[in-house]
Amino acid sequence: MVQGKHISSHPETIGTRIDAPQVAKITVATTITAATLLGGTVPAYADETVAMNDAQNAVDTAAQAVQEAQSSTPADQEAAQEAIEEAKQHVAAAQESLDAAKQAQQNANDTQQQTQQTYDAAAKSQQQAQQNVNDAQNSTIVTDAQQAIENANQQLTKAQQSLQDANKAVEQSKTDVANAQQNADNAAKTEADKKQNADTAADNQKNAQTEADSAKATLDTAKQNQSKVEDETGITDAKQNVADKQTAADNAQQNKDKAQADKDAADKAEMSAKQESDAADRDVSDRQTAADDAQKDVDEAQRNADKYDTEAIIQQVEDAKLALDAAKDDVQAKQDAADKAQTVADDAKLNLDEKAGDAVDALDPDKYQAALDAQAKADKALEDAKKSASDKQEAYEKAQKKAEAAKLALDAAMQDTTVAQADRLNAQNAYTNASKALEDATSKLNAANQLVADKQTAKDEADNAVKDAEAEQAEATQALIDAKNAAKEAEQLLADAQADAVSKKEAADNADSQLAKGSLGFFESKGATDAVNALVKRQDNEWLRLGEAGSATSIDNMLKALDLIDRGNEIRRSLGLEEWKVSDYQTALAQLAADYNTYSGNKEHCYSTYAQNLAWGYADPFAAWYTKEKALFDKYAEENPELRDMSAYEISVNYPSIFLQTGHYLNIIDPEGTVTGFAHTSSMTDAQNFDTYSEDGAVSVAEYRQQLIAYKSGLENASNAYQSALEAVEQAQAKAQEAQEALREAQKRVDAANSTLASAREDQSNAVAALTEAQNAITPLTQAQQTALNEANNAQTLLNEASDKLTEAESTQAEKQTAYDAAQAEYNAAKDALSDTAIPDAEAAKAEADAVVVDYDAKRAAYDTAKQTYDTAIAKLEQAKQDKSDADEAAVQAQADYDSALETKTQAEAAAQKLIDAKAIKAVADEALTKAQAEAQSKRDAYTAAQENSRKAQNVLDTATAAKTQADNALADAQTNLADVTAAAQGALETAQAAVDTAQQNLDTANASLAAANVAKAQADAEYEQAKADSATSLQQLAAAQQKQAQMESQQKQAEAAVQTATDDLAAAQQNLAAAQRTYDERIAAAQAQLDEANKALADAKTKLDEANADKSAADETLAQAQADYDAAVKAQQEAEQKLADLKKAEADKKAQQEAVEKAERELAEAQEAKKQLLSEELSSTGSDETLPLSLMGIMAVAGAGCVLLKRKAAND
């Protein structure tokens, strides 16, 4: 409880700090008012009955002491003198042993310290060597290279995945646009619903605010009434002053804390801002370089793209393709025509040669003329014959002409048939050749497809091998990571064990000094600030014997004090009361009171709070406090039964004399006094403080005892704890070495996995290349097969056409043959008819002559026809050859033009794509640069602001610290003043406070409703705002989805380039890993050798340190025994000397003691008279002079009797 501050649910008590020099000499159970204490006088209300009895006992005891002193004799003094001489001899011998033990202990200390220094140096070397190994193992040279491979793999996988994703993204983007549109529609509807909810919550909030305002008005009225009471009693100003000073102190503390936090945050922010600013500047430089490079690429790509007219080039390609197709068709047609012309020319040549052979005579002019002459002669004879047979002749001639015409038609048909047969033969040969070419192309395509299937199988096997290798690499890498983590954990455990050993060593070194501090050390170990401060403020006083064996602050006496609290709790349990809990702060205050009353020479209350009991000379103070006073209380209660229903406060007001005699008992059974602090000294002085609550977390007696025992045991066993810590260090070192070995094995596994994966990926790459090569071969073979198929189909068409023409020609020839046969038969019939007249002979002659001429004419005509046909065929053949040559040249030119146009188109497309890619990269680089520049400027501004904030924060912290000190001083003064004016107005304040409490409860209820309404409104508003934001976000997402759809194709092309780049990067990273692994292994080997040497040195030093510690422990035990022997000898000598001095003093004091007894009897009578005077005056104003206390002090000084004190606040003080 804060000293000087009144905290109680009823106005019985007030705890006030009283420094020892200001406390009057009060030696009986008393109640002291706050007003008189602060005024410098200390009135007392005595338990007169107990005081008189104690005084009489003191007189009797003093008289007995006089008699005992008179009984001493000179013989006793001579025996005492001899005992002194013997004791001196023992002391001298013990001193020699003690000096020798001290020297041995000093030598052991020196050896132990030297050995410890050697061990510490070896441990430091070992730690450094271990750190070197750790540094080597933690070197990122291999992991960086592995990470580079992993990154390259990830980039390759990512690039491949990006390519697949890009292929899917176009279709997905369409779905995303539709979904985004649906989301936007849904978000708009949600926004309308949330708006309605927000309006409803606003109405509820308004109603709750009205109710809260009404409750607030009622509370304000009640507080005004309370303030009026406080104003009338003079408390308001004092409370307001304390509140103002408390507020000022709290504000000053908050300001100081905030200023300190702001300063720390500002310093941290300044450092962070500096790092971020530097990083942002470097990023801007990198981004600017990337943007400049991208711009150069864009400019170069633009220049290349500007060289081409894309539309004209595309038209040129299309025109060239049409021209090429036409040229090819023309070449084929001309080739067909040339072939046909060649066949016709060949046939014409054969026919010409045949006709020439047949027409040798016909072509002879003489023979031909003779034939003509013979014909003319025969004609003349025939004409004569014909005159007589004109009718027959006319019929004959008609038949003859008809037969000749039929013959000519038959010849022409036969000629057409011959030509058709040749054409069909050529078509048949072309079809046969085309079919053979198709079979060859199909066979090659089938073989290529089988090769692709084989290569695909090989690639699938390579892919599976890579997957297996990647899985092994992933497992090995994870095992390496786990091993590294385990190694780091083992290293941390080693470091922790070493740090713990250092801490345990310090604890062992300081254990004796810490234990010597007594309760102060215990409170410090718990962080009990109030208890520590209470003792530290008095530690310079001579009467406070911190940690001494007889002091209440010794740990042993603290444990005895807990036993006495158990005794009191037995009483409270028997009464059905809550058991006392132990408070550090109240224990410290009780220890101050106990030591003060033991060593200051005074016997009085001090360092109390709610209430305090004191006792001297009792093995069980509860015998006086409880048993004796309970008997008195029960006696008075028989006479006044209402006492049992009254509180201690009511008894002090209505029955002050009874209260003075039973105050200790009433303290013990007070149901509200549930917190205590008890102190006990070896001089049988006991002090118990009581309070109604604890600010430092009071605990049960059992728990408090356990804390004390654990604290004491920990200090007493600190050396063993240090040895255990050293063993833990050794175990941690062994585990760290095991972890390092596991780490090396894991590294080997990773190396093997990386090698296997690299080989598998190389095989995979080769398989992919082989598959790609086989797949690339399919296209030209497929095209070749298609071309062969087209040519075979064309040949089949031409063959069918030729067959049809041959059939038609043969059919025509058959028709002409039939017609000729009919005409010839008719001719033969007419001819036969002429044989019946003279004409036949003439005709025979004529026929013979005509036959010769006809034969000659026919042969000449056949020859001429054949010659003409031959010449025509030759001319056509030459023209066909020339046409074929011209068509070939045109086709070659058309192919060249088409190839040139395709090359130009390819170059234009490549230039255009490079421009698009360069612009896309440039846009990304520009955007990154802009963002980096803005970020860098923001970081620079933030760094400048952070520097200024740090400077300002320091100024604010300095100001806040000074303000806090000033505010604390002002608060202490205000609290002291408030204590003086509190008591009188308590009753009226309780009534006003009750009204305030009721109004406050109503206001709290209303505020809770209002807070709930505010929360509901805030939630509804937040949901509405979120719905609005979601709606806007949905629209943004719709636009983004539409924009993303346009970006997908560009990303697809970029992904293809990224796949190739990632493949190249992976190969380079694998080479770097091999070099990094060699460097890593060399470093590990060197560091491990150094660590092995350091471990050996540390083990040797540890062995020597253990030996030195054992020697020191033995020397310490020898010294402790020698010291104990010496102390015993000195004590024996002192006791002998004291006995002699007592004997001498006893005789000299006989007279003085007798006079003291007589004086005590006189003062006893005076005390009886003082009692009558005390009982006749009011409790709130009547004091006591110092006659009775000083008289009893004198008696107690002689008799050494015990006395019990009580401190309580009177009712109207």
DSSP 829-858: HHHHHHTTSSHHHHHHHHHHHHHHHHHHHH
Q: Where in the chain is the domain with CATH 1.10.287?
A: 416-528+701-826
- 3-state SS, residue 496: helix
Strands 685-691, 1205-1206: pairing kind: unpaired
- 3-state SS, residue 676: strand
pLDDT of residue 183: 82
Nearest CA to 990 out of 244, 225, 15, 234 is that of 225
Angle, nearest 10°, between helix axes 1187-1199 and 48-70? 40
Contact 614, 707 (CB under 8 A): no
CA dist 854 and 841 (Å) reads 18
> What distance separates the 2 farthest-apart alpha carbons in the chain?
229
CA dist 567 and 574 (Å) reads 11
What is the DSSP secondary structure assignment for residue 550, as one 8-state letter?
A: T
pLDDT of residue 981: 63
pTM of the model: 0.31
Contact 687, 590 (CB under 8 A): yes
DSSP 541-602: STT--TT-TTSTTSHHHHHHHHHHHHHHHHHHHHTTPPPPEE-HHHHHHHHHHHHHHHHSS-
CA dist 27 and 58 (Å) reads 13
Angle at 390 between CA 385 and CA 391, to 5 degrees: 140
DSSP 204-218: HHHHHHHHHHHHHHH
Contact 335, 798 (CB under 8 A): no
pLDDT digit string, tens, across residues 578-632: 999 999 999 999 999 999 999 999 999 998 788 999 999 999 999 999 999 999 9
pLDDT of residue 207: 78
CA dist 391 and 578 (Å) reads 175
* Class in CATH terms, 416-528+701-826: mainly alpha
CA dist 1168 and 843 (Å) reads 212
Distances (CA, A) of 692 to 1, 107, 676: 10, 56, 9
Contact 594, 686 (CB under 8 A): yes
pLDDT of residue 50: 44
Terminus-to-terminus CA distance in the chain, angstroms?
Answer: 21
Q: What stretches in the chain show pLDDT beneath 50?
A: 1-52, 55, 66, 1175, 1177-1213
CA dist 1137 and 489 (Å) reads 66
- 3-state SS, residue 672: coil
CA dist 160 and 200 (Å) reads 55
Structure tokens at 978: 């408030």
C-alpha torsion sign, points 482, 485, 489, 490: positive
CA dist 469 and 808 (Å) reads 75
CA dist 539 and 527 (Å) reads 18
CA dist 816 and 1188 (Å) reads 181
Nearest CA to 48 out of 1173, 1212, 1208 is that of 1173
Beta bridge partners of residue 613, listed in sequence order: 688, 1206
Structure tokens at 1133: 């000598």
pLDDT of residue 574: 97
Tell me how crowded residue 1060 is: count the other CB atoms within 10 A of its CB.
Answer: 11
Q: In what order do the strands lie in the sheet with 685-691?
A: 581-582, 675-680, 685-691, 611-616, 1205-1206
pLDDT of residue 1178: 35
Contact 1059, 191 (CB under 8 A): no
Beta bridge partners of residue 680, listed in sequence order: 686
Structure tokens at 621: 């103070």
Angle, nearest 10°, between helix axes 839-980 and 986-1175? 30
686 — phi, psi (to 5°)? -125, 140
